[in-house]
């Protein structure tokens, strides 16, 4: 090693060699295939295969609902709940007490001055109807999981609105034929009973065509709307429907960094500075 030759492995008489010039046919250095494979096989502007698969699943899961399917769902729920109004009416007729009456020349009158049986009939129908609405909202929330939201709420409200008059008509007709027969044929002064009926609710006809329930016939729909709204407010999913977790379909993180590019070769005019 000497002042003229600081590199001990380099001969003194060997001149400095400039960098080889770049030819027009020279190709840029390509990235190492092993590095590309290690990074998941995607470039800076590409999405990994697992991320694309996850995105496609999310889009397919959150695809917009078809209007015809929504209408069919609501109609099917309304028909099913209307059928459930039959056992609800039978249960109400079994629990509500009959009212004792007396036959007179003008018709039937109450056997007691202020009977409590009509009030009990209204009370039983109100309690059963409210409980029916709550159960319907819970059932539709879990049965129609993919239709949660306005479609499920509309199905619950319309279904209970139809089921309530059905239950009322079924319950009030239990024993009504016997009452009408005794009213027409019994002698004056004979005591018999009148089947349960509603005094705090009924159905009005709008323009003679559209039935509009009122009174305690609206309690089932009220209970269903309140319960369904509470379930929607307590839901942990923003869309109310169960959503797949991010880790269920992705095995490679979507944020894997892209491989670094190879360094640029030195310019043709670049040369090492003179030594010594």
Helices (H), the chain: 33-38, 49-61, 67-95, 117-143, 150-172, 176-185, 219-234
**Residue 251 or residue 145, greater confidence:** 145
Judged by DSSP in three states, 204 sits in: strand
Distance CA 81, CA 168 (A): 14
Strand residues in the chain grouped as ranges (E): 99-103, 108-110, 191-194, 201-206, 210-215
Is residue 195 within 8 Å of 138, Cβ to Cβ?
no
Query: Above pLDDT 70, what percent of the chain?
Result: 62
Beta carbons of 219 and 133 less than 8 angstroms apart: yes
Question: Which of 130, 217, 128 is CA-nearest to residue 168?
Answer: 217
Query: For residues 28 and 263, is the Cβ–Cβ distance under 8 A?
Result: no
> What confidence tens digit (pLDDT) does each residue in 19-56 have?
555 555 545 444 454 444 444 444 444 444 444 444 44
pLDDT at 266: 62
* Residue of 14 and 150 predicted with greater confidence: 150
Q: How confident is the model at residue 57 (pLDDT cuts 50, 70, 90)?
A: very low
Kindly indicate the confidence band of residue 184, based on its pLDDT and cuts at 50, 70 and 90: confident
Q: How far, in Å, CA of 137 to CA of 77, rounded?
A: 11
Of the listed ranges 70-79, 217-226, 263-272, the least confidently predicted one is 263-272
State mean pLDDT over 116-136. Answer: 95
pLDDT band at 263 (very low <50, low <70, confident <90, very high): low
CA dist 5 to 8, 17, 189, 270, 271, Å?
7, 15, 141, 22, 18
Which pLDDT band, with edges at 50, 70 and 90, does 171 fall under?
very high
Q: What is the CA radius of gyration of the chain?
A: 41
Nearest Cα to 192, choosing from 75, 86, 107, 253? Answer: 107
pLDDT digits (tens, 9 = 90+) for 73-85: 899 999 999 999 9
Q: Which residue has the tokens 């494979």?
A: 37
Q: Under 8 Å CB-to-CB from 145, ≥6 apart: which residues?
A: 241, 242
Residue 191 has pLDDT above 70, yes or no: yes
Of 216-220, 238-242, 246-250, the range with the lowest mean pLDDT is 246-250
Band the pLDDT of 63: cuts 50, 70, 90: very low
Interatomic CA distance for residues 132 and 17, integer angstroms: 95
**Cα–chain center distance at 200:** 35
Lowest mean pLDDT among 8-17, 85-94, 169-178, 192-201: 8-17
Instruction: Give the pLDDT of residue 259.
Output: 55
The size of the chain, in residues, is 276
The counts of H helices and E strands in the chain are 7, 5
Q: Which of 44-58, 145-159, 182-196 has the lowest mean pLDDT?
A: 44-58
């Amino acid at each position: 090693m000497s002042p003229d030759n600081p590199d001990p492995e380099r001969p003194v008489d060997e001149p400095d060699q400039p960098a080889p010039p770049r030819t027009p046919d020279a190709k840029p250095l390509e990235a190492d295939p092993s590095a590309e494979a290690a990074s998941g096989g995607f470039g800076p502007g590409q999405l990994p295969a697992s991320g694309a698969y996850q995105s496609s699943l999310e889009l397919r899961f959150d695809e917009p609902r078809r209007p015809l399917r929504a209408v069919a769902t609501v109609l099917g729920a309304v028909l099913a709940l209307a059928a459930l109004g039959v056992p609800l009416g039978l249960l109400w007729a079994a629990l509500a007490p009959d009212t004792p009456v007396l036959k007179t020349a003008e018709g039937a009158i109450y056997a007691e001055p202020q009977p409590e049986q009509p009030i009990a009939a209204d009370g039983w129908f109100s309690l059963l109807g409210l409980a029916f609405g709550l159960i319907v909202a819970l059932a539709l929330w879990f049965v129609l999981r993919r239709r949660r939201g306005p479609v499920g709420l509309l199905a619950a409200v319309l279904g209970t609105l139809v089921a309530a008059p059905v239950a009322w008509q079924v319950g009030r007709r239990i024993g009504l034929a016997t009452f009408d027969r005794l009213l027409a044929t019994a002698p004056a002064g004979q005591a018999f009973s009148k089947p349960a009926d509603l005094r705090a609710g009924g159905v009005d006809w709008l323009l003679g065509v559209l039935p509009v329930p009122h009174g305690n016939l609206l309690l089932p729909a009220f209970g269903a709307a309140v319960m369904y709204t509470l379930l929607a407010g307590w839901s942990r999913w923003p869309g109310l429907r169960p959503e797949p977790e991010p880790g269920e379909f992705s095995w490679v993180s979507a944020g894997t960094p892209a491989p670094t590019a190879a360094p640029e070769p030195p310019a043709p005019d670049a040369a090492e500075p003179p030594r010594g």
